[in-house]
Amino acid sequence: MDMAAMRKKAREDMKGYCRVCPACDGRACAGEVPGMGGSGTGSAFMANLEALKNWRLNMRTIHGAREADTSLTLFGRKLSMPILAAPMTGVSYNMGGKLPEDVYSEMIIAGTEAAGTMGMTGDGADAAMYDGGVAAIAKHGGLGVPFIKPRAQSEIIARIRQAEQAGAVAVGMDIDGAGLITMALKGQPVGPKTFVELKEIVAATSLPFIVKGVMTPDEAQLAVGAGAAAIVVSNHGGRVLDSTPGAAEVLPAIADKIKGRAVILADGGVRSGSDVLKLLALGADAALVGRPMAVGAFGAGAEGVAALLNKMRSELVSAMLLTGTANVREVSRDILTAAR
């Protein structure tokens, strides 16, 4: 895969919405929502990358870890790597509209499957956004997770039924979408959920339920208490609330409270295999990648998505071998040093 050519095409096709910067750190697109930027000053987007940079990997080369096993099982599916595509929608108003919503979702799900892992799809003001993602997941044997915005209870449950009919391995709600500007502009009410409401939603399905947008230990415990099978530590890419900390900043305290009780996924600022290893060491079971997947899809379709994931996996293998990490299911926090 010619990565330079892929990025060039993505830059052309997303012109005016994403610059496909050499360093995707949110500085050039601050405040561009709709678009691919972060809310307000963009500080929450930037905080995700800064939080990862604040951790350094301890290099160790005197050990017996001669091979790096990146495989794991999530929601009953064997995956080649602990790297999943994050749910993203709004192609028309966030990415320029050169791809139809359903085609974009198909590229994400097909690309992640080709790389041996799993993709997630999202929800939005236009019904085609959620429907397209669910259709792509159904086409690929249920290998994917559709996420639903925090709508009215009945609306959420109706979409859960669609996920069930599609054979999805799990279903989730990005509760961090409660303050999305784009949803408000389109007249689609979303908002926070009480513990009782969350418990009702989780109880409405036999599928593993994922709560995305958890940023504090107390809310992680509430999500698990409500029956969630997994959480995603995420500030929604910095797109809903300015001045939030980065995911890697809050992940250790959350993991200390619920590790082993639920699957912990982390999302925000992942740009390399080394970033993935850092999140695993901080307590995540797997990492989600967002904006780079859009570049892959717009630049080279499903092949671009798969190529970027495989590149990250190769980087992860290298980082594991150089830190004495034999497998992604047992990553010690001792491989990290806080930057001074």
Q: What are the catalytic residues?
A: 236
CA distance 126 to 101: 10
Tokens of 143: 């290998």
The answer to whether the CB of 260 falls within 8 A of the CB of 205 is: no
Angle between helices 217-225 and 247-258 (to 10 degrees): 50
- Of residues 309, 235, 246, 304, the one with CA closest to residue 276: 309
- Of residues 203, 207, 187, the one with CA closest to residue 195: 203
| DSSP string computed for 80-99 | SSSEEEPP---HHHHS-SSS
CA distance 126 to 96: 15
Half-sphere exposure at residue 226, Cβ-oriented, CA atoms within 13 angstroms: 25
Classified as helix, coil or strand, 246 is coil
| Radius of gyration, alpha carbons of the chain | 18
CA distance 340 to 338: 6
- Of residues 152, 233, 254, the one with CA closest to residue 193: 152
